[in-house]
Chain A
């Protein structure tokens, strides 16, 4: 079974500092995709960044970067220069085949990030 583990239920960071949110995954499929989403208190899931299993370079998107360590099966999200608006739940997700062979997203349990002024 595919699995995503986020071991940090909550994190605090000072404004303007960088923070790393951990994500490990478990899959036997050689082809998979890793996603990070942000969910503010309003409830909408906002796509942040994507990393494919065959991508050679770590993905970056503005202040977001993904520290992808394939051998360790980890895909940590790094947020640089934290802003107050970054306070939210952050979910890691993996896109892998289900029993039928078709792919769907499996999400972790999330990390609540609070940015302090």
Chain B
């Protein structure tokens, strides 16, 4: 299966600790997105990359959050000094966007973060 993969699938941490999540997009996809989903809500956009460039960041993304996509392939999302309000499902998606084409995003299984 060559879909989007995320690691870890579950993470439990104590408040104040740093956590890092990894996302491997579908091969050859040039865009990579991060979303956050809390219980009972739809996903909320956090940030996205076109190849290795971070093109957009939501206002939801506080200074404690940082994302990278160093070689234009996999991406990491780091949360520093976690807070209980950071508990959520973190979803990664990728897409292949060509000029004039559609941005259909394919999602990974998500990383569920629980901050105690």
Contact = CB atoms under 8 A, between A and B. Distances in A.
Interface in A66-117: 91, 93, 95, 98, 100, 102-110
Interface in B30-77: 33, 35, 40-45, 48, 55-56, 58
Which size bracket describes the interface of A in this complex? 20 to 34
A102 B103 contact: no
Contacts, number: 58
Nearest to B42: A107
B7 to A, nearest CB: 14
Contacts of A43: 89, 109-110, 112
A109 B35 CA distance: 14
B99 interface: no
Interface residues of B, number: 25
Contacts of A108: 42
Interface string B69-112: 00000000000000000000101010000000011111111101
15 contacts: A35-B104, A42-B109, A43-B89, A43-B112, A44-B107, A44-B108, A44-B109, A104-B33, A104-B58, A105-B35, A107-B42, A107-B44, A109-B40, A109-B42, A110-B41
